[in-house]
Amino acid sequence: MSLINIDNVTKLYQTGEISVTALKELTVNIEQSSFVSFIGPSGSGKSTLLNLIGSLDKPTYGKVIINNVDIATLDRTQSAAFRGSNIGFVFQNFNMIPVLTVYENVEYPLLMLKHIVVNERHERIFALLDKVGMLDQKDKYPNQISGGQKQRAAVARALVTNPKIVLADEPTANLDHKTAYKVISIMHEMQKEFGTTFIFSTHDTKIVDEAEIIYTLEDGAIINSEVKTKN
């Protein structure tokens, strides 16, 4: 079985009396350690799909099975625990917790996993901050660092729990070309090193070029898939 099994998923949003179909009978399977990109115009369903994979939302019809868990069967607390253990998030707006330092932001997801002892926690955080080049900024608050630095810290935060999947919704949208490239490179390195599955929704050609599998979405359905040969 694949790491991610999306089976005939439909997602409807109800706005008053109007029903909007965000995803339409979508089926896709994603293997472990993939570098996948979903592309498509605004409203094509990319973010909805990522929300389902991230167990932030539930399908109206069909099944989303992540790491052998049907996310529709989880209650809110179980969903949170599932996300904490299995999924890392990298957001377009970085979404750092403003009252926590870079170090504390990276540490936060580990605190949700009660079994990680203090020493191991520190080791993991220091190693990741070092890898993303943010060790010297660890004591700064998010408002004291640049957008690129925030996103690098966000990548460290997404990876600190050793998740099987990292979901990145437009991760380079608010970054300049050079910084965006650097962030993508870091993610790629992490994928190779930890075997993490990276899934992006993006318009950014830099990410698209880096992706191994590219799915094109339109009106809630996959209209094209492209698998690149690994070099």
Partner 1 sequence: MKNLIKIAIRNLFRYKRRTILTSTLIAFGVILVIVFGGLAISFKSQMIGIITNTSIGDLQIHKKGYVESIDNLPLNINLTTEELTSIEKKLKQMPEIAAYSPRIKFGAMISNYAQTSNIRLSAVYPEMESKTVPDLVKRIKGEVSDPTHFLKPGEIIVPENLMKGLSLNVGDEVVIVATNQDGSVNGLTLRIAAMMENVLGPSGKDGYIHIDDAAELLRMEKPAVVEIAVHLKSFEQLNKVYSQFRKDFSPASLFEVHTWEQLSPFASVARIVDILIIVVKFILISIVLVSILNIMTMSVYERIGEIGTLAAIGTPPGRILSLFIIEGFSMGLLSTIAGIILSLSALLLMNMIEIDFTFGQMDLTLNPGIPISEIILTTIIVMIISILASFQPAYKASKMEPVDALAHN
Chain residues that interact with partner 1, rule: CB under 8 A: 51, 54, 56-57, 76-77, 80-81, 83-85, 88-89, 91-93, 95, 97-100, 108-109, 111-113, 157, 161
The residue (of 96 and 214) whose beta carbon lies closer to partner 1 is 96
The residue (of 74 and 208) whose beta carbon lies closer to partner 1 is 74
From residue 139, alpha-carbon distances to 11, 109, 203, 214 in Å are 42, 17, 33, 38
Considering the complex, what minimum distance in angstroms separates the CB of residue 109 from partner 1? Answer: 5
The residue (of 134 and 214) whose beta carbon lies closer to partner 1 is 134
Considering the complex, what minimum distance in angstroms separates the CB of residue 87 from partner 1? Answer: 8
The number of angstroms, rounded, from the C-alpha of 169 to the middle of its chain's C-alpha atoms is 7
Considering the complex, what minimum distance in angstroms separates the CB of residue 162 from partner 1? Answer: 13
The residue (of 92 and 179) whose beta carbon lies closer to partner 1 is 92
From residue 212, alpha-carbon distances to 41, 79, 127, 153, 231 in Å are 20, 28, 26, 24, 10
Considering the complex, what minimum distance in angstroms separates the CB of residue 226 from partner 1? Answer: 28
CB 106 within 8 A of CB 128: yes
The residue (of 138 and 157) whose beta carbon lies closer to partner 1 is 157
Exposure string (b/e) for 98-113, b if CB count within 10 Å is 16 or more? eeebbbbbbbebbeee
The residue (of 91 and 215) whose beta carbon lies closer to partner 1 is 91
Considering the complex, what minimum distance in angstroms separates the CB of residue 53 from partner 1? Answer: 12
Considering the complex, what minimum distance in angstroms separates the CB of residue 193 from partner 1? Answer: 21
Tell me which long-range contacts 30-33 makes (C-beta under 8 A, separation of at least 24).
30/2, 30/3, 30/4, 30/197, 30/199, 30/213, 31/2, 31/3, 31/197, 32/2, 32/3, 32/164, 32/195, 32/197, 33/191, 33/195, 33/196, 33/197
